[in-house]
């Protein structure tokens, strides 16, 4: 696990970031909030931040989004916030797990049950030590939880060529997963052969066949046009995925209490608006994708759930989970 090295590097970055930040950004009337994400401008999380977050902070801050990984490469955003080169990102639990392995609990297959469960977990006191550690050691405040959606397996092969009902059916399938350890572990736990690759490279990799498939929620399959270069979606729902609205602690500390309250409310409102839009899209897009000629079907979900959960038992990830937290998360579900 590379977390030790990354955390050591980080200790330096945080002190540079916090010490170096304030004068430069606050010299102008308004604070500039640079936000970097691999997501597109039309992704529902991007839309929610631009249309709901930005106007609510406009009196004192200029929201400056950078999409498609154009400012910071996927996976490096948190380090950039820590070092003062970025103010905001849409961060994943998997990215946080590269610094703090215990965050892998929120990135584990079949743990979160739905969008409401994610919110209940994020707002529960069980999250307090997680949030505090990220603030203290990374200089990043996790403001709110955004809903990315149910991740499913999306393949180039047609259902006739490859029908996936059980994890064994994914044996030898080169499945693109994002680059960090927690993601790769999930790909393996599904039964596939995970291939690390950044989000912005997926479309080309699918079209040239350098990977067999990728996993993402249906709205992403549509937004990134993966349906143009794939033929089926297996509704594994293996991860009800989330992202956190990550905000520079150094910037936060420079805000007045009123501005802090406005930023918090803007983030919560944006997360809620994005969540509702994404849930609706997940429901609506099945028929759109079928109209595009894609096979969309449910596999043996019990077989997937049992297999994935069994891989985590006794894993290095499970070993990092604080005692009792999984039970608390489960108790907040249905
Ligand atoms: C992806 O790379 O597959 C992923 O879905 C991972 C998420 O955590 C998030 O980074 C997302 O990409 C981007 O926001 C693009 O949608």
Q: What is the mean pLDDT of the chain?
A: 93
Alpha-carbon dihedral of residues 93, 39, 13, 22, nearest 10 degrees? -120
Q: Cβ distance 247 to 141 under 8 Å?
A: yes
Q: Cβ distance 88 to 246 under 8 Å?
A: yes
CATH class of 151-239+283-319: alpha beta
Would the CB of 91 count as within 6 Å of ligand 1? Answer: no
Protein residue with least CA distance to atom 9, ligand 1: 92
Residue 157: is its pLDDT beyond 60?
yes
Residue 318: is its pLDDT beyond 80?
yes
Beta bridge partners of 154: 214, 233
Residue in the structure block whose two tokens are 């930005």: 54
Would the CB of 46 count as within 6 Å of ligand 1? Answer: no
Give the count of alpha carbons within 13 A of 66, CB side only.
17
Distance 242 CA to ligand 1 centre (A): 9
Q: Which residues contact 99 (CB under 8 A, 6 or more apart)?
A: 3, 6, 7, 10, 78, 134, 137, 138
To 10 degrees, what angle do helices 115-123 and 257-291 make? Answer: 160
CATH class of 2-147+241-274: alpha beta
Would the CB of 43 count as within 6 Å of ligand 1? Answer: yes
Sort strands 232-248 and 295-297 into parallel, antiparallel or unpaired. Answer: parallel
Distance 257 CA to ligand 1 centre (A): 32
DSSP character at residue 75: T
Choose one of 92, 145, 146, 281 to mutate for the ligand 1 pocket test, by most ligand atoms within 8 angstroms of C-beta. Answer: 92
Would the CB of 227 count as within 6 Å of ligand 1? Answer: no
Mean pLDDT, residues 21-37 taken together = 73
Concatenate the DSSP letters of all residues of 32-55 into one string.
Answer: EEEEE-SS-TTSHHHHHIIIIIHH
Closest by CA to 147, choosing from 280, 283, 238, 271, is 271
pLDDT tens digits, residue range 228-272?
999 999 999 999 999 999 999 999 999 999 999 999 999 999 999
Q: Cβ distance 214 to 38 under 8 Å?
A: no
Concatenate the DSSP letters of all residues of 207-225 into one string.
Answer: HHTSSSEEEE-HHHHHHTT
Q: Using 50, 70 and 90 to split pLDDT, how confident is the model at 16?
A: very low
Distance 16 CA to ligand 1 centre (A): 28
79's tokens: 């380090």
- pLDDT value at residue 105: 97
Would the CB of 39 count as within 6 Å of ligand 1? Answer: yes
Residue 17: is its pLDDT beyond 50?
no
Distance 38 CA to ligand 1 centre (A): 7
- pLDDT value at residue 4: 41
Q: Using 50, 70 and 90 to split pLDDT, how confident is the model at 6?
A: low
Residue 10: is its pLDDT beyond 90?
no
Q: What is the number of helices (H) and of strands (E) in the chain?
A: 15, 9
pLDDT tens digits, residue range 270-291?
999 999 999 999 999 999 999 9
Choose one of 89, 107, 202, 220 to mutate for the ligand 1 pocket test, by most ligand atoms within 8 angstroms of C-beta. Answer: 220
Beta bridge partners of 177: 196
Q: Using 50, 70 and 90 to split pLDDT, how confident is the model at 29?
A: confident
120's tokens: 């209940």
Q: Using 50, 70 and 90 to split pLDDT, how confident is the model at 146?
A: very high
In the chain, where are the structural domains located?
2-147+241-274, 151-239+283-319
* Domains 2-147+241-274 and 151-239+283-319 alike in fold: yes
- pLDDT value at residue 5: 44
Q: Using 50, 70 and 90 to split pLDDT, how confident is the model at 20?
A: very low
Protein residue with least CA distance to atom 16, ligand 1: 39
Distance 276 CA to ligand 1 centre (A): 18
200's tokens: 């912005």
Protein residue with least CA distance to atom 13, ligand 1: 39
Distance CA 260, CA 266 (A): 10
Q: Which residues contact 186 (CB under 8 A, 6 or more apart)?
A: 107, 108, 109, 177, 194, 238, 239, 308
Protein residue with least CA distance to atom 6, ligand 1: 178
pLDDT tens digits, residue range 172-187?
999 999 999 999 999 9
- pLDDT value at residue 206: 98
Distance 75 CA to ligand 1 centre (A): 10
Q: Give the three-state DSSP class for 113.
A: coil
Residue 27: is its pLDDT beyond 90?
no
């Amino acid at each position: 696990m590379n977390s030790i090295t990354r955390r050591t590097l980080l200790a330096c970055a945080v002190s540079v970031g916090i010490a170096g930040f304030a004068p430069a950004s606050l010299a102008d009337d308004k604070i500039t909030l640079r936000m970097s994400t691999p997501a597109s401008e039309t992704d529902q999380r991007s839309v929610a931040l631009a249309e709901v977050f930005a106007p609510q902070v406009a009196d004192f801050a200029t929201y400056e989004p950078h999409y498609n990984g154009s400012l910071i490469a996927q996976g490096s955003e948190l380090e950039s916030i820590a070092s003062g080169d970025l103010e905001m990102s849409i961060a994943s639990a998997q990215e946080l797990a590269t610094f703090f392995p215990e965050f892998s609990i929120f990135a584990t297959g079949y743990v979160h049950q739905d969008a409401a469960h994610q919110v209940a977990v994020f707002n529960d006191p069980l999250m307090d030590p997680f949030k505090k550690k990220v603030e203290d050691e990374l200089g990043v405040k996790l403001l709110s939880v955004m809903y990315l959606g149910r991740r499913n397996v999306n393949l180039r092969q047609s259902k006739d060529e490859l029908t996936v009902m059980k994890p064994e059916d994914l044996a030898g399938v080169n499945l693109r997963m994002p680059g960090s350890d927690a993601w790769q572990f999930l790909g393996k736990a599904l039964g596939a052969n995970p291939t690390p690759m950044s989000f912005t490279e997926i479309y080309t990799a699918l079209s040239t066949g350098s990977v067999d498939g990728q996993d993402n929620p249906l709205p992403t399959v549509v937004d990134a046009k993966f349906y143009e270069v794939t033929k089926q979606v297996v509704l594994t729902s293996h991860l009800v995925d989330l992202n956190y609205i990550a905000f520079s602690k150094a910037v936060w500390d420079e805000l007045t209490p009123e501005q802090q309250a406005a930023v918090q409310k803007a983030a919560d409102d944006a997360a809620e608006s994005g969540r509702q839009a994404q849930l609706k899209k997940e429901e609506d897009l099945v028929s759109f994708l079928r109209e595009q000629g894609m096979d969309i079907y449910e596999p043996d979900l019990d077989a997937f759930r049992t297999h994935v959960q069994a891989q985590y038992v006794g894993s290095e990830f499970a070993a990092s989970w604080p005692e009792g937290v999984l039970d608390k998360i489960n108790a907040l579900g249905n």
